[in-house]
Chain A
Amino acid sequence: MTTLVTPPTESEGTGEPRAMKKPRKVGRWILFGAMVIVAIVMLYPFWVMVITSLKSESQFLSGGGFSWLSWSSLTSVIPVGQEVLSSTILCSASIFIILCVGLPAGFAFSKLRFRSSTAVFLVIVSAMMVPLQAILMPEFVNVTKLHLTGGYTGAILVYAALGTPFSVFLFTTYFRGVPDELIEAGIVDGLGYFGAMWRLVLPIAVPAIATVTVLQFIQIWDDLLVGLLFIQNTSDRPITVGLAVLAAGRTTSIPGLMAGSIISALPAMLVYLGFQRYLVKGLTMGIDR
């Protein structure tokens, strides 16, 4: 890769037009070649998943061959349908709570500031830095004692709590760009604060809502720890947890696991490809302005 930055002709620094033209073109091809190589490396996981899933157990061990077996018998190895459904329920419920809680809070911290609201805001934002593992034990015992691990409730609440600080941060920063006059005009017109939020703030918050939704979807869909510990019934497991537990058991056929991996990867990839813009915006939030 360093060759791209330092082509030999440039080291002279003479900048003679005719001498530069040809190496430039060659340089472009080298660049293109390097990009193809990186692309191959980045696509490697997908290649492994697809190739391996198209083999039977014995073909996988011997190396050659092709078979649909791991796909046709997939549901007997991994309850894919149930697990995808669980993942979907977990994601949608958690994201719904995160939005319902984060949007009004962002509105409050940016436009309806109350006494020491800045301090409260900072405390909530710094909760972003607390990894779940740091509070795992008390969290687990609390949620268990409240009898919330039976269904999805416990996991949903934990996901919602972990996602809220970021969404509050994002909504607050976003709403700071909205002129105060807009809200004041709404209040004067008798909308009330809730009406102002519902009719004036919500419609312009769509990009921020999209960013939070996309980021949290990928985060929650891909998560292992919460789903593993806060959902007691194995029949309620989301797909990522199902895969991880099977993999850790080391008894499942690898082609089957890879087929399951593809199923688990597809929704997140589609969301990513469709909403790449929002993902980038969310990841570079706070520095890109």
Chain B
Amino acid sequence: MSTTIPIPATPTFAPKARRMTLKRRRQFAGVVFALPAIALVVCFIGVPIGQAVYYSFTQWNGLTSTWIGPSTWTQAFHNTNLWTALRNNGLLLLSVPFALAIPLGIAVLLHQRVAGWRVFRSIYFLPTAISWVVLGLVAERFFAYQGTLNSIIHALGFSHISTNMLGYQSEALIALGITFVFTMIGTNTMLFLTGLATLDPSLEEAARIDGAGRWRIFRSITLPHLSRFIQLAFVMTVIALFSALFSLIFVMTGGGPGYATTTMEFLIYETGFNQGDFGTAALYGLILFVITGIVGVVQLRLIGSNE
């Protein structure tokens, strides 16, 4: 087949020939240099995606797999656990506006450059360095029956009210959402602060001279300028919501009570390693892959639109 493609005429001049081989050698070096990275990504990310597709049609316990066919998918969609996990993820999406608005407020605060703002900045970002395992442990203490939350409530004079949010199906997810918002504050504030730093201060100055109030300046100048950063923060937050909650759930609730805090990623772990149903877990993984893929495409668009 390749014979039909016109082969470029072999160069007749010596200099041109040398240039050709130089180009060849450069390309060859490029392939050699890129190969280890390509191999690593293909072996540990590419191949498993393909395997996941195959195994999603099988009954698989990790050792032996039997081909079942598409019925595994219809079976999975009749599983209430899947819908519970998707619903939990959907409900957690409600926390995203908070995970954006609070850091935005903090970033604007820091941007006022009050005395000591650098120190405050370091403090605000400090939890970002800590493992979500540790933050989950602390959050568990916060929401516990003898935890800080109840101390605060009692100190405010409501001594007859005692909460135990992680213990109840209806409230555990809210506690998880609050913790998630807290863990995202550092990263998102960092993003917004970078965005604010690129804002031309003379614009705000001009608006102020024109008699615009602070709120007006914020809405008409600051916010539109930040829109790209807000979009990126939104996408990063949503991706974290689908793929980074594992540590928090693992130490805070173990997915419970019942399945009240089991999200997609935790369901995959639970189905695979607690129930030993590798095939269904691989299938759930593909569903998660599609969800994050859609969000990821949006993010690539956002980054791409910048270049």
Report A's interface with B, CB cutoff 8 A.
1-2, 4-7, 10-11, 13-15, 28, 31-32, 34-35, 38-39, 42-46, 48-49, 52, 61, 97, 100-102, 104-105, 107-109, 111-115, 117, 120, 123-142, 144, 157-158, 160-162, 164-165, 168, 187, 193-194, 197, 218, 221-225, 229, 240, 243-244, 247-248, 254, 257-258, 261, 264-265, 268-269, 271-273, 276, 279-280, 283-284, 286-289
Contacts and interface: CB of A to CB of B under 8 A. Distances in A.
Chain B CB within 10 Å, residue with most, of A1, A39, A42, A140: A42
Contact of B247 (A107, A114, A162, A244): A244
Main secondary structure of the interface of B (DSSP, over half): helix
Contacts of B289: 130-131, 134-135
Contacts of A129: 239, 292-293, 295-296, 299-300
B15 to A, nearest CB: 14
Contact of B45 (A111, A127, A268): A127
A77 to B, nearest CB: 14
A31 B112 CA distance: 8
Interface residues of B, number: 108
Contact of A138 (B29, B34, B282): B282
Contacts of A124: 37-38, 41
A110 to B, nearest CB: 10
Contact of A139 (B48, B229, B242, B292): B48
Contact of B49 (A35, A130, A160, A248): A130
A64 to B, nearest CB: 13
Given A135-B51, A272-B126, 19 more contacts: A4-B109, A5-B218, A35-B120, A44-B138, A45-B135, A131-B243, A134-B288, A141-B62, A142-B48, A142-B51, A161-B40, A221-B131, A223-B247, A243-B137, A247-B133, A264-B133, A264-B134, A265-B131, A271-B129
Contacts of B55: 137-138
A197 B29 CA distance: 11
B1 interface: no
Contacts of A244: 133, 247, 250-251
A166 B66 CA distance: 36
A42 B123 contact: yes
Interface in B78-124: 105-106, 108-110, 112, 114-117, 120, 122-124
Contact of B38 (A1, A5, A112, A120): A120
B114 to A, nearest CB: 5
A283 B191 contact: yes
Contacts of A138: 47-49, 51-52, 55, 282
Interface string B206-234: 00110111110010000000001100100
Given A104-B34, A165-B41, A269-B130, A32 B285 contact: no
Contact of A109 (B34, B110, B125, B232): B34
Main secondary structure of the interface of A (DSSP, over half): helix
Contacts of B299: 129
9 shortest interchain CB distances as A-B pairs: A129-B296, A112-B30, A161-B44, A131-B243, A222-B131, A272-B129, A105-B37, A138-B51, A193-B29
Given A104-B34, A137-B281, A283 B187 contact: yes
A114 B306 CA distance: 25
A4 to B, nearest CB: 7
Interface stretch (B68-76, B154-162, B265-273): B265-273
Nearest to B272: A137
B41 A13 contact: no
B183 to A, nearest CB: 10
B52 A137 contact: yes
A49 B265 contact: no
Interface string B277-296: 01001100110110011011
Interface of B: 25-34, 36-38, 40-41, 43-49, 51-52, 55, 60, 62, 105-106, 108-110, 112, 114-117, 120, 122-138, 140-142, 146, 148, 185-187, 190-191, 194, 198, 208-209, 211-215, 218, 228-229, 232, 239, 242-243, 246-247, 250-251, 254, 264-265, 268-269, 272-273, 278, 281-282, 285-286, 288-289, 292-293, 295-296, 299-300, 302-303, 306
Contact of B26 (A193, A229, A258): A193
A140 B272 CA distance: 10
A131 B109 contact: no
Chain B CB within 10 Å, residue with most, of A31, A129, A218, A265: A129
A130 B45 contact: yes
Given A268-B130, A272-B129, A284 B254 contact: no
B127 A45 contact: yes
Contacts of A222: 129-133, 247
Contact of A136 (B128, B132, B268, B300): B268
A28 B112 CA distance: 9
A217 B75 CA distance: 41
10 contacts: A35-B117, A101-B36, A112-B30, A114-B28, A120-B38, A161-B41, A197-B33, A218-B128, A224-B247, A276-B122
Contacts of B28: 114
